[in-house]
């Protein structure tokens, strides 16, 4: 059964990105529809898959990670406007029977992602 999962790693502090707001949207051309909003747990992960089963379908999606708010809550001093604020990742699901894991590695100055397992 296919599913979508995510987690956040705070590379500036070498720990999981806990309590980060993450929004999931389905894309249809230029339109986007909100599906779910979660907060990462103490391990920087969602407590459950973002999508699975019948909800998990091929198509284009967007994850929005509120990284700037996370670093502000930690008291990290960054200039305004923030260099990294909301991290928007657009990606496609081509095989709804597979596990798509979309992690975010983030600092106040950079981020990266990949398709994990």
Show binding-site residues for substrate. Answer: 7, 45, 114
The span from the CA of 1 to the CA of 53, in Å, is 6
Paired strand residues for 107: none
Q: Both tokens of residue 93?
A: 């699901």
The span from the CA of 60 to the CA of 112, in Å, is 19
Task: Give, as one character, the DSSP assignment of residue 56.
Answer: -
Residue in this structure with the two tokens 């001093």, named with its chain if needed: 77
Show binding-site residues. Answer: 7, 45, 114
């Amino acid at each position: 059964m296919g599913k979508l999962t995510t987690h956040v790693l705070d590379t500036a502090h070498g720990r999981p990105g806990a309590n980060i707001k993450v929004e999931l949207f389905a894309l249809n051309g230029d339109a986007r529809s909100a599906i779910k909003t979660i907060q990462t747990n103490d391990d920087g992960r969602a407590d459950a898959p973002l999508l699975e089963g019948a909800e998990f379908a091929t198509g284009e999606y967007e994850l929005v990670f509120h990284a700037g708010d996370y670093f502000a809550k930690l008291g990290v001093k960054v200039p305004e406007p923030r260099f990294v604020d909301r991290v928007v990742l657009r990606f496609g699901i081509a095989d709804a029977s597979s596990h798509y894991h979309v992690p975010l590695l983030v600092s106040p100055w950079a981020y990266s992602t990949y398709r994990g397992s």
